[in-house]
Amino acid sequence: MRSFLILFKNELKLNIRNMNMVIFAVIMPLIVLVILGLLNGTKLAAEGAEYTFMEQSLSALCAISICAGGLMGLPLVVSEYRERKILKRFQVTPVSPIKLLMVELSIYIVYCMVSMITLIPAAMIFWKVTIHGTWSAFLGSWLITMISTLSIGMMVGGVAKNAKSASVIACLLYFPMLFFSGTTLPFEVMPEAMQKIVSMFPMTQGIQLMKVTFLGLPVDNIGLPVIVMGAVTILCTVVAIKCFKWE
């Protein structure tokens, strides 16, 4: 445990020094929040809706950092460490691969948390956003969305041949999920066929679940998102650990 904490502290410092994630996972969601807030203020999501546009969008904003960390940050850092032979140096020490992966995973969990706890108070203070559902249901949905997305990142970092192919795979996952899962383009405006395809993204399921739990809408089918995200998490974690390569 002591070595986990020291590794975590140092790796987090290095990650912050690098600034990429600070910008993409913390500052960018805040900028999007401000833009949406200035454009929409406190107006309702639709005529007769019981919640505002900002309340409807908040879940998707919380997902930006999850996307950035899980589909960009995590796969790139793991594959870069392998390519630069930093993992090889760890290979000739007593550290276990699982511990190293958990250290990196925890760092991105911290980013997602920081992003959420800056977004929600800001939205509450400036645009009078309130939660209509329960915090526990919303945080539960956020947690499972985050863990499933980060597990994808861990797997990509684990199986990619080098940093370059990791970055290609990361882009192939990151941009479609960012645009089509409801993070930027609302799910509701997509054609039905497209909705079916993007429903298979764990991110889409996650955002939908976060949205209904935040807005307090009736959850008619909680089984599907939980099963999709749970299956993704288990599959990706197993592959990431089984296929872990030092070099």
Judged by beta carbon, residue 101 or residue 119, the one nearer other proteins is 101
The answer to whether residue 85 forms part of the interface with other proteins (CB under 8 A) is: yes
Residue 93 touches other proteins, criterion: CB under 8 A:
yes
In this chain, which of 14, 98, 139, 238 binds other proteins, going by CB under 8 A?
A: 14
Q: Which residues within the stretch 222-241 sit at the binding site for other proteins (CB under 8 A)?
A: none
Closest distance of CB 188 from other proteins, Å:
43
Nearer to other proteins, 37 or 157 (CB): 157
DSSP the chain: -HHHHHHHHHHHHHHHHH-HHIIIIIIHHHHHHHHHHHHHTT-BSSTT-SSBHHHHHHHHHHHHHHHHIIIIIHHHHHHHHHHTTHHHHHHTSS--HHHHHHHHHHHHHHHHHHHHHHHHHHHHHHH----SS-HHHHHHHHHHHHHHHHHHHHHHHHH-SSHHHHHHHHHHHHHHHHHHSSSSS-GGGS-HHHHHHHTTSHHHHHHHHHHHHHHT---S--HHHHHHHHHHHHHHHHHHHHT----
Establish if 94 lies at the interface with other proteins (CB under 8 A): yes
For residue 11, the minimal CB distance to other proteins (Å) is 8
- Least separation, in Å, of the C-beta of 156 and other proteins? 20
User: Does residue 1 interact with other proteins by CB under 8 A?
Assistant: no
Positions 18 through 47 that interact with other proteins (CB under 8 A): 18
* By CB under 8 A, residue 86 contacts other proteins: yes
Q: How far is CA 196 from the centre of its chain?
A: 21
Asked if 88 touches other proteins (CB under 8 A), the answer is yes
Query: How many residues make contact with other proteins (CB under 8 A)?
Result: 25
172-231 residues near other proteins, rule: CB under 8 A: none
By beta-carbon proximity to other proteins, the closer residue of 101 and 178 is 101
Enumerate binding residues for other proteins (CB under 8 A).
2-3, 6-7, 10-11, 13-14, 17-18, 81, 84-86, 88-96, 246-247
